[in-house]
Chains A and B, each alone.
Chain A
C-alpha cells in the first residue's frame, strides 16, 4: 500500500454564528493514499465542504485543532504564498456550482491555473504549451467545439466539465471535488462521474464529498462523516 499523501489528524473546525460557536469538525481523521479515490459521504451541513477547504488550504483548522499534512509537511506551517502555490499546483478544486469566471471563455477558464502560475513573461513563453494542454483536456471532455464560448452559453454538465478541466490544468497531485454532480440531473451527473472515473483511472488521486450514497459508491473507498467525525471507513 502506498504512503498517504494527505493525512488529516484530529482536525477541529468551529464556525462562529453571531455569538454562538458551531463546531463543524470534531477531531476528524482521514488518510488519502496516492492514486486513491476517496468519497466522503455526509448529510448536508455535516462539514464535508469544510473538510475539502481545509485539505485545499483555502481555510485553516482551529488553533491546536489537529493537523493536515501533505507528503509529511504540516500545512499550518506554511506561508501564505506557499499555500497559494499549493492550491495552484498541487490541488485542483471542483465545486458544486462550477465557479467559472463569467468574463472568460471556456479556454481561458481552463487555462486559469496556468495564468495564475506564471508571470506575464513566463506565460507568454509557454502560451502554446498551455493552450495545447487546455485544448487536450477540453477535447478529452468533449468540449473542443466550445472553447470560444462563455460559461453562460454552456449547459450545466458542460460547465462542470470545464471546471474539471480547469482543476486538472496544472496536473495536480490531488483533485478535491465538492458535490461535483450536486447541481446536475442524474444522466449528466453520471457523465461527470465517468469523466472523474476516467481521470482516476489515469492515476489521479481524488477526494470527493457527496451526500449521495450511489455516487459515493463509484469511489475506491467510502467514508462516512457524521457529527464532525469519520465514523465508518
Chain B
C-alpha cells in the first residue's frame, strides 16, 4: 500500500537506527546523563539496602518469636486441664502430628545465688518430647560448639564453649573458675541459699558413667535433660534471667565469674492454684541450674525458666492424686480415700505439624482430637470453646505485628524518597533536550517523526534506568553482603554503633538480599527513570522544527 506521496506506508513509531546510534553517543559523550544514571543507581541501592535489612530483621524477629512455641498450642492458662495424656495420645495418633508435648506454665519467683529475686515464668516440660516439638535442645547455650557453629560465625578466644576449652588444661581452667565462683567472697557474704546451698556440688556434676567427660559436655547434657549428671531435677534459665550475663557481639554472652549460673542453685517459689481457682500455700524448692538457653527474644530470655514437668506439676499441685472423702475419716482421723484418682493437669500442649501439614490444618485436627477426649469426659474437661488453640503465627502476632508495620512503613518511606530520582532524571533530561534542540530540528528536517524523537529520549531514559538499576543493585549487594564489616569499621573509626548487641536481638545486621524484592525494586527503578524521561521526551517531540533549527 502506498500513500499520497507515493511512499510505501510503514509504522512511524518503529525504532530507528539513528535512535540507537544517538543514544549510544549521548551516553558515552556526556557527563550529565551519567549523573542521572548515578541518581537512579543510588536510589535503587538505597531502597534495596533498606528492604534487605528490614525484611531480614523481620525474618529474624519472626524466627526468634517462633522458637519454643511449636506449630500449634492448646492452652488453658492458670488452672490447666485434666486428661492431657489422653489428648496427647489422640494427637500422637494423628498423621498430621509429628510430635506433641505437655507443658505447665506458671508465674514464680526465683531467688538467685547473689541475693537477687527474679520474677519468672516457669515452664514445666518433658525435655525429650518438648525438644521434638520445638527444638529446645538447640537453644541450650552452654554446649560444645559444633563445626557448623564455627563455620558460620567467629567466636572470641575467651568463649567457654570453644573447642579449645575442652582440652585438658582448659578444662582445669574452667573448673578453677567454677570453683572460684562457688567460693567467692560474694557468696560467703550472702551465705548459702537455705540448707542445701552447697549441696552435692562435686557428686552432682561428676558424671558417674563418664567421669572423664568434659564439663561443657556434662552441662549440655544436663541442659537437654533438665537433670544434673547425678540425676537430680534441675532448671534451665533464660540467658538474661541472671543479670550477671551480658550480651556481647556474635550472639555470645559473657558472665561475671561469680555469677556463672550453671552448676549453682536457685530457689524457685510458685503459687499453686486449685482447679477451682483457689490459692494454696506458696511452694518453694531449691534446684540446681543445669544450663541456660537463648532464643534471642528479650521477653523470653529474661523471664523463662524450664523445670522438669513432674516438678512443676507437683509444686503447683497439678499432679494426679487420690481423691479423699470430705466426710469420712480413716483410722488415723485423716480424710479417707474414695478410691478414685484425681487426674493430673497440664496448662498447655505444644504440637509440631507433620511435613506438608500447615499450622491451620493442624489447628483443626487438634480441635477434633480435643473434642474426642472431651466427649469421653464430659463435665470434667472444658469444651473446645473454653480453651485456646492457636497457630504459632497467632501466638506471636502481637509480638511481630509492630515490626511488620515498621518494615512496611520504612520501606514505603524510602520508596517515596527515591521518587527524587524521577525529579532528578526529569531535570537532567530537560537540560539534555535543551542542549539537543538543534539536533531535534535537524532530525525533523530529514523526516524524523515526533514519535521517533520522543522515543529517542525515552529510550535513552530506559537505557539509563537499566544501567542505573544494575549499578545500584551491584552497589547494594556489595554493601549488604559486607554490611557487618562496614558497621564494625564505622564503630571503630567513628564510634558509630547503630546496632548495639546488648539491646537488639540481632548483633549482626541482616546481610542477605532477597532476590525477588531486589527485582521489584530494580523494575521500579527503571519505571521511575522512564517517568522522569517522559516529560522531556514529550517536550522534545513537540518542539517546532523551524525554531529548533534556529536555536543557538
Contacts and interface: CB of A to CB of B under 8 A. Distances in A.
Contacts of A78: 4-5
Contacts of B545: 58-59
Interface string A52-89: 01001011000000000010010000101110111111
Contact of B446 (A53, A73, A80, A112): A112
B549 to A, nearest CB: 7
A82 B5 contact: yes
A85 B16 CA distance: 14
A90 interface: yes
A103 B438 CA distance: 12
Contacts of A86: 5, 447
A92 to B, nearest CB: 8
B5 A87 contact: no
A138 interface: no
A73 B5 contact: yes
Interface in B1-18: 3-5, 7, 10-12, 14-18
Nearest to A99: B442
B443 interface: yes
B386 interface: no
Interface string B211-234: 000000000000000000000000
Interface residues of A, number: 38
B448 A82 contact: no
B438 A99 contact: yes
Contacts of B549: 58, 95, 99
A36 interface: no
B446 to A, nearest CB: 5
Interface residues of B, number: 34
Contact of B447 (A73, A89, A95, A102): A89
A56 B447 CA distance: 10
Interface string B537-552: 0000000011001000
Contacts of A81: 12, 449
A101 B439 contact: yes
Nearest to B11: A119
A80 B449 contact: yes
Given A70-B5, A104-B25, A120 B20 contact: yes
Contacts of B546: 53, 58-59
Nearest to A163: B442
Interface string B6-48: 0100111011111011100110010000000000000000000
Contacts of B21: 103-104, 108, 115
Nearest to B441: A99
Contacts of A56: 445
B445 A58 contact: yes
B450 interface: yes
Interface in B440-493: 441-450, 452
B29 A116 contact: no
Given A59-B546, A86-B5, A93 B445 contact: yes
A116 B18 contact: yes
A120 B447 contact: no
Given A103-B26, A108-B21, A116-B18, A88 B447 contact: yes
Interface string A83-127: 011111110010100011111100010001101111110111000
A84 B449 contact: yes
Interface string B407-445: 000000000000000000000000000000011011111
Given A59-B546, A82-B5, A103 B16 contact: no
Given A58-B545, A82-B5, A93 B446 contact: yes
B10 A119 contact: yes
B449 A115 contact: no
Given A84-B444, A99-B445, A123-B17, 12 more contacts: A73-B5, A86-B447, A89-B5, A90-B7, A99-B441, A101-B22, A103-B21, A103-B22, A103-B25, A116-B446, A117-B447, A124-B17
5 contacts: A86-B5, A88-B447, A103-B21, A116-B443, A119-B11
Interface of A: 53, 56, 58-59, 70, 73, 78, 80-82, 84-90, 93, 95, 99-104, 108, 112-113, 115-120, 122-124, 166
Shortest beta-carbon contacts, A-B, top 9:
A88-B447, A119-B14, A103-B25, A115-B18, A87-B447, A115-B17, A85-B7, A123-B17, A113-B446
